[in-house]
Amino acid sequence: MEQSFISIKKFTKEPYSKILGYPKASKSQINSRIRELEKLKIKSLSFTGPTTIENLKTLGKGYVGVVVLAKKNSKKIALKIRRTDSQRKEMKSEAALLKLVNQVNVGPKMIASSKNFLVMEYVEGIKFNQWIDTLKGVGSSRKLKTTIRKILEDCYRLDEIGFDHGELSNISKHVIVGKTNSTIIDFESSSTNRRPSNVTSITQAFFIGSGIAKKAKKIYKTPSKEKIIAALKKYKQEKTRVNFENLLKILKL
């Protein structure tokens, strides 16, 4: 994927200003955001990725922000830009949540934050739903099992610290698979104030009644829905390592 970086000085004008102040911002808001980026030592942005906004490619878009590829000094990073119509008034709360999951080695590494920006490690890869379509032939069953197990282990660590991601029933948007690793992303709907259901949500998404579950079944013989639900029920009642290991065993992971 070719990546050309554009100086943030050019972001005072359209179409770039439309991304920096998406969906709508005044000139003074744009200028203020450029100064904020300069303080964060971010000098250039690149328009690349699967999501198109205003005819420009981005890494992603959510209710809170737009994510683009950028450079901090000379290092590639993922930059989350707060939407001007977001109900969130700042990005520091999400930064604190990301910092918390980083403590148990989950998610992209949090680098810095300000009122309107979240600077994170750039995780290169593709969304899980695209990745599963690339699995063909010898070794695909092992690759799928290894990736699912890694994500389930991450989810277990989140459950352990009482942290709920909130959107893991939608794997296609929230799991990135790279050449050597897989990562859970996007913690904007996360909370430490509700009962965590990370393992439960993602197991259901991987194995029960979704398009991904149907694809997984074609790659390796997954257990019956009833067996999975019984193991999940036991885990939900008591989120112990023993019950988690039992779930992995049922899932043949």
The 10 Å Cβ neighbour count of residue 99 is 13
Structure-token pair, residue 124: 């290169």
pTM over 0.85: yes
The per-residue pLDDT for range 111-153, each reduced to its tens digit, is 999 999 999 999 999 999 999 999 988 889 999 999 999 999 9
- Residue 187 confidence class, pLDDT cut points 50, 70, 90: very high
Helix and strand numbers, DSSP H then E, in the chain: 10, 12
Answer with the residue of higher pLDDT: 210 or 107.
Answer: 107
Q: Residue 200 has what pLDDT?
A: 96
Cross-sheet strand order for the sheet of 175-177:
126-127, 175-177, 182-184
**In sequence order, what are the beta bridge partners of 112?**
119
For 176, the enclosing helix (H) or strand (E) is strand 175-177
Q: What is the 3-state secondary structure (H, E, C) of 101-115?
A: HHCCCCCCCEEEECC
Euclidean distance between CA atoms 154 and 120, whole angstroms: 18
**Hey, is 138 helix, strand or coil?**
coil
The per-residue pLDDT for range 89-99, each reduced to its tens digit, is 999 999 999 99
CA 78, 95, 80, 164 dihedral sign is positive
The per-residue pLDDT for range 13-67, each reduced to its tens digit, is 999 999 999 999 999 999 999 999 999 999 999 999 999 998 999 999 989 999 9
Euclidean distance between CA atoms 113 and 120, whole angstroms: 9
**Hey, is 11 helix, strand or coil?**
helix
Q: Residue 184 has what pLDDT?
A: 97
Euclidean distance between CA atoms 39 and 11, whole angstroms: 16
- Displacement of CA 221 from its chain's centroid (Å): 28
Of the candidates 82, 186, 76, 190, which has an alpha carbon nearest to the alpha carbon of residue 122? 76
Residues whose CB falls within 8 Å of the CB of residue 89, separated by 6 or more in sequence, listed in order: none
Token pair 């300069």 in the structure block, residue: 38
The per-residue pLDDT for range 154-177, each reduced to its tens digit, is 999 999 999 999 999 988 889 999
Structure-token pair, residue 89: 């008034």
The 10 Å Cβ neighbour count of residue 130 is 13
Residues whose CB falls within 8 Å of the CB of residue 34, separated by 6 or more in sequence, listed in order: 8, 9, 11, 12, 20
Q: Residue 2 has what pLDDT?
A: 58
